[in-house]
Amino acid sequence: MSNEERTEREFHVGDVLSITTGRLVSPRHMDGIYDILDFMTGDSLFTHQLPRVSDECKPYLLEQFPELKGVDASGVNTKNWKEWLDEQVAKYGEKLVVKLIPKTAHTVKNPVEEMFEMKEKVSGIVINK
């Protein structure tokens, strides 16, 4: 089965929790975030698109894994994230099988056009060099 035909794929629980909690706890750091969001949407995302697409994917992850709804990562920081993640692995398992989101749940946007849209929204902050 080719990669394009896959409807589900195994991810580290830290990748999933990074999306559902909004805290970067993926053991592969940003690579884990790109991988899970690219897989779930079938898109090839740019950094500035990750927050929007995380918002698109989060409800589907919580639907697939309702046990993660109450996971609190508010106390996680750069010093304790590995220990916190080890606790989550012990509780929920290391790997979770993640499914694609429906095609209608993801808004495909040209990354350059979206960047300019974002720039217009914060036009008072952007400094052109």
Contacts of 61 (CB under 8 A, 6+ apart): 16, 19, 20, 68, 98
Say how many Å lie between the first and final Cα of the chain, rounded: 48
What is the mean predicted confidence (pLDDT) over 34-44? 95
pLDDT of 102: 87
pLDDT of 103: 87
pLDDT of 1: 44
Q: Helices 13-21 & 81-92, crossing angle to 10 degrees?
A: 110
pLDDT of 57: 97
Structural domain spans, the chain: 7-121
Tokens of 4: 């394009």
Q: Mind listing the pLDDT tens digit for each residue in 55-104?
A: 999 999 999 999 999 999 999 999 999 999 999 999 999 999 999 998 88
pLDDT of 105: 77
Please report which confidence band the pLDDT of residue 16 belongs to, taking 50, 70 and 90 as the band edges. very high
- The DSSP element (H or E) to which 95 belongs, if any, is strand 95-99
CB atoms within 10 A of CB 75: 8
Q: In the predicted model, is pLDDT for residue 128 greater than 50?
A: no
- Rounded Cα distance between 75 and 5, Å, is 39
